[in-house]
Amino acid sequence: MGSLLALSRFIDRINEFLGRNVAWLILAAVLISAGNATIRKVFDMSSNAWLEVQWYLFGTVFLIAAAYTLQKNEHIRIDFFSNMLTKRTRDWIDLVCHIIFLLPFTILITYLSLPWVLKSINSGEISANAGGLVLWPAKIMVLIGFSLLTLQGVSEIIKRWAIITGILDDPAETHDNPPAVEEMLSATPKVHGK
């Protein structure tokens, strides 16, 4: 079990690094959006390429940060019902649902997206919009995002089993971890005088 927990920690480190750093693409998308809107209003010019870049950036953040969201237990769930259950029952539900629902879905999407991405790369597929961009960078994010989510699912299964069997303490129970957004905000440097 020690080697599986080491694998889990490795996967967690990768997804935490990516999840924290990909968030900066939201700022880039906002700046591009504001610049594009300003140019369109002031100079009466527009470009589909700039619109597509915004979609690519947002899609990349969504897909790459999904694994980080799962790792931080910030994904959507029905807390009203799950809070009525015991901690042990919730752990078993997480374990079983990750095995039965999450992994088969993410593995299937990863498997199906590989030929889709390769076909797009090989054909040099371009957006149908006038002045549009090549599509494979956006499509490859689907493959990467679901691959990372599959790996994080494996990590969560390992950790959940270790928690259920008593090998590992549940970090959510032993520490008062702030939600992921608050954690990221607390890591940003403070400006003097504020």
Task: Express each pLDDT in 112-157 by its tens digit.
Answer: 999 999 999 999 888 888 777 888 999 999 999 999 999 999 999 9
Axis-axis angle for helices 48-71, 2-22 (nearest 10): 150
Say whether 134 sits in a helix, a strand or coil. strand
Provide the Cα torsion 182, 188, 193, 194; round to 10°.
-30
Query: Among 111, 157, 143, 175, which Cα is nearest to 7's?
Result: 157
- What is the domain extent for residue 38? 2-76+83-170
Examine residue 188 and state whether it is found in any structural domain, yes or no. no
With respect to residue 58, please indicate whether it lies within any of the assigned structural domains: yes
Number of domains in the chain: 1
Rounded distance between C-alpha atoms, residue 147 and residue 162, angstroms: 23
Nearest to 159 by CA among 148, 146, 172, 149: 172
What confidence tier does 189 reach under pLDDT thresholds 50, 70, 90?
low
- Asked if the structure places residue 184 within a domain, the reply is no
Residue 95 lies in a domain: yes
In a domain, 186, yes or no: no
**Domain for residue 187, yes or no?**
no
pLDDT of residue 40: 83
Instruction: Kindly indicate the confidence band of residue 159, based on its pLDDT and cuts at 50, 70 and 90.
Output: very high
Those residues whose C-beta lies under 8 Å from the C-beta of residue 117, and which sit 6 or more positions away, are 136, 139, 140, 142, 143
Mean pLDDT (the chain) is 85
Residue 39 falls within a domain, yes or no? yes
* Lowest-pLDDT choice from 47-56, 89-98, 182-191: 182-191
